[in-house]
Structure 1
C-alpha cells in the first residue's frame, strides 16, 4: 500500500522521522533501524491510524512536545514573535515554511551543523538573502528557548550570514535625479515620494500614514505625528515639522478629507495594503518608458534612498548623529534615556524645522 503526502527524513545519527507533509504532523520521531524496517513499521495498524487522523486534520498543524515544530508553535506565542515588525514577520514566515521538513525533529538534536545545512540549502535553492532570513529566524527561535531555559545553547548563534548588503543599494539621490523623477512621476506616486524625501519616513510607515497624522502644531505650523512600525514601542511617537516643499504637496490634498483616509494612495485611490505594494508601484514606474528615457542610468534608485537623502541633508546642515537618529525614528543610545526621549525629540524637531526652513 502506497501512502501519499509523507515527508520521510533520516538525520545524521541514523534516526528516521516521518510527518504528514500538508500539515507537518509528526507520525514517527526518532525511529532507529533500516529503511526496510521503517517501511514495515509504517505498515502497522498504529501508524496507519495516525496517518488517517493526520489526513483528516484539515490543515491544522500538530507537533508532539519536544519537536522543533512544537518549539516554533511555542515561540510564536511569545513577545519575541508577536512584537516583531510586520515586515520582519513576513520574512520569518517564509523562512518558517522553508524549514517545515525539520519540524518533526527533536529540537534538542538540532546542532550548528544542521543550521549550516539549512542555510546552505536555502542559498542553493532560493537566494543568498533568504539564507540570512533562515539563519535569523532559527536564531530567534533558539534564543527565546535558551532564555526560557528550554535549551542550554543556541545552535544558530555565530553562524555566518552569506549575504552582505550592497552599501550602495539605497544610495542618496542626486538633485538632478530627484528633479527628473518629480517632473515625470504620476500624481498618485508624488505624495509618497514627497513624504520620503522631505520627512525621511520608511516605506512601511508611508503606506499606512493617515490624514489624522497630519496635524496643526503651535511650534511647527504643521507636523506629521506618528509611531513608526519598526521599534515603535521603544521609539515612541515622533513629531516631524513639515517643511514648505512637503506642505505644498500635502495641503491641497488635505482639503475635505476624513482623518481616517490614507495620505498616500495607489492609482485606484485606495490605501496601499503593504509596503511591498508601494514598492511594486515604484518598480513599475521605474520600468516605464518615461523613466528610462529621462534617467537611463538611474535604475538603482529606491524609495528608501530618499530616506538616505533626507539624512544626508540633515548632516550637511550640521546636525549631530543623535539628532539625525531622532528625526529618523531610530532607537536611542540606551534604554535608560527612553523616558526623556519625548521631550528631547520635540526640541530636536523644532530646531531641525527652524533651521531647514531658513535654509530653504
Structure 2
C-alpha cells in the first residue's frame, strides 16, 4: 500500500463480492475510501497527528489495547461502531485513571458516579456504558493488565418492560395493507423465524432449500435450522432467487442496515404502527409460539435463544397478556371439573 502501519482487512459480502476496509493502524480509526484517495489521506494524516502513545499504567492504554486485540476483531462491525462511541466517552472521562487504583474499593464508587450521571439523560445508555467498561476491564483482568475489575456485577439501572411491545394482529394487518411490497417479506420472515434484523438482512437464497432456513447468528455464533411455515414458504417461493441476499430494497439491491431502518420507520409511521419496532418482532415470534403452546425448548430451537432467555422473555418481557389465553385456560379447566347437578335442589 505504500503507507506504513495501515491495517487492512478484506471481507466477503453477502452478494459474493469482496470489500477491503482500512484503519490507520490496528485498533485505530477507520479510513474512508482507499489508499491514494484525498479523503483517505486526509483522514490518515489527521489520525497520525492525533495519535499519542498512552502513558503506561493508565486506563487509556487498556482501552487502546482492547481495540487492538483479537477480542475486538471478533466483534461484529456494528458492535465495534457502538463500542467506539462509548470508548471515546470513557477516554475523555477516565483516560488518565491509574490502573493501580483498580483494586481500590473506592474505584467502583467513582465509576458508579459516572454511570449515575449518564443515567440522568438515559438509564439504558448508562447501563450500556457500564457494560462496555466492564467488558474491557474483564479483558484486561484476564491478561493481568489490571489487578481487579471494579465494574464486575454492577447490576442495571434500566428496568424497562417489553410486555406491551409486541406486534398485534392489527399491527401486522395495518403494516401489510400500507407498506411497500418489498417490506412485506422482512415482516413475515421476522415473525416466522424470530431472528435479528442483521441476520435477516444477510440471509441468502443459498440458505433456504424450500423446507428449512439455515443460518449462523452473528451475535452469538449459534447455528439454527428453522422449518419454514406455509405462509413464509409462500412468500419466499413467490420471490425465489438463486444467489445473493433474499431481502432487497425497491431497486432490487441488497439493503444497507441504515437504509433498511430508515425505510422501516417511515413505513410504520405511514401505517399507524406505533410503540413497536422491528426488533420487537423477535420477541413477538416468541410470544406467538408460546401462545400456541410450543414448549420452551421448541421455541429456543427456532429462535436461537437460550432456554433461560426464552423463559425470561415469556415471563417478564414480551408475553402479551392476551385475554384469549385466559379464556382458553378457563375453558380447559371446565372440561376437567365436574359440575354439580342442581336439578334435584
Contact 1:92 1:133 in 2 (8 A): no
* Other-structure match for 1:281: 263
Question: Which of 298, 309, 312 does residue 287 from structure 2 map onto?
Answer: 312
Would you say how many aligned residue pairs link Structure 1 and Structure 2? 259
- Structure 2 gap segments, 5+ residues each: 1-44, 309-345
Query: Is 1:201 the counterpart of 2:175 in the alignment?
Result: no
* Other-structure match for 2:160: 165
Question: Which of 227, 231, 235 does residue 249 from structure 1 map onto?
Answer: 235
Contact 1:91 1:133 in 2 (8 A): no
* Other-structure match for 1:144: 139
Contact 1:67 1:103 in 2 (8 A): yes
Secondary structure of 2:226 counterpart: strand
Contact 2:175 2:268 in 1 (8 A): no
Residue 55 and residue 249 in structure 1: after superposition, are their counterparts in 2 closer, same or farther (change >3 A)? closer
Question: Which of 255, 262, 275 does residue 300 from structure 1 map onto?
Answer: 275
Residue 128 and residue 267 in structure 1: after superposition, are their counterparts in 2 closer, same or farther (change >3 A)? farther
Q: Distance in 2 between matches of 1:322 and 1:78?
A: 36
Q: How does 1:30-45 map to 2 (within 5 A)?
A: none
| TM-score, normalised by the number of residues in structure 1 | 0.65
Question: Which of 224, 243, 253 does residue 238 from structure 1 map onto?
Answer: 224
User: What's the CA shift for 1:85?
Assistant: 4.2
Residue 287 and residue 173 in structure 1: after superposition, are their counterparts in 2 closer, same or farther (change >3 A)? closer
Contact 2:213 2:225 in 1 (8 A): yes
Q: Distance in 2 between matches of 1:166 and 1:95?
A: 24
Residue 56 and residue 210 in structure 1: after superposition, are their counterparts in 2 closer, same or farther (change >3 A)? closer
Secondary structure of 2:144 counterpart: coil
Contact 1:63 1:70 in 2 (8 A): yes
Secondary structure of 1:303 counterpart: coil
Q: Distance in 1 between matches of 2:46 and 2:284?
A: 54
Question: Which of 143, 158, 179 does residue 185 from structure 1 map onto?
Answer: 179
* Other-structure match for 1:156: 151
Secondary structure of 1:92 counterpart: helix
Q: How does 1:93-132 map to 2 (within 5 A)?
A: 93-101=84-92, 102-109=94-101, 111-124=107-120, 126-132=121-127
Contact 2:178 2:267 in 1 (8 A): no
Q: How does 1:256-271 map to 2 (within 5 A)?
A: 257-259=241-243, 261-271=244-254
* Other-structure match for 2:33: none
Query: Is 1:84 the counterpart of 2:83 in the alignment?
Result: no
Q: Which whole-Å deviations, capped at 9, do the CAs of 1:69-127 have from their partners, x for residues lacking one?
A: 11112223445433334444333221111112122332333511331232133334x53
Q: Distance in 1 between matches of 2:50 and 2:196?
A: 36
Residue 242 and residue 61 in structure 1: after superposition, are their counterparts in 2 closer, same or farther (change >3 A)? farther
| TM-score, normalised by the number of residues in structure 2 | 0.68
Q: Which whole-Å deviations, capped at 9, do the CAs of 1:217-246 have from their partners, x for residues lacking one?
A: xxxxx22111111211xx2x2211111111
Q: RMSD of the alignment, in Å?
A: 2.5
Query: Is 1:327 the counterpart of 2:315 in the alignment?
Result: no
Q: Distance in 1 between matches of 2:182 and 2:49?
A: 43
Q: Which whole-Å deviations, capped at 9, do the CAs of 1:236-272 have from their partners, x for residues lacking one?
A: x221111111122111211xx441x221122333222
Contact 1:231 1:331 in 2 (8 A): no
Q: Distance in 2 between matches of 1:251 and 1:299?
A: 30
Q: Distance in 2 between matches of 1:106 and 1:201?
A: 42
- Structure 1 gap segments, 5+ residues each: 1-53, 217-221, 293-297, 334-360
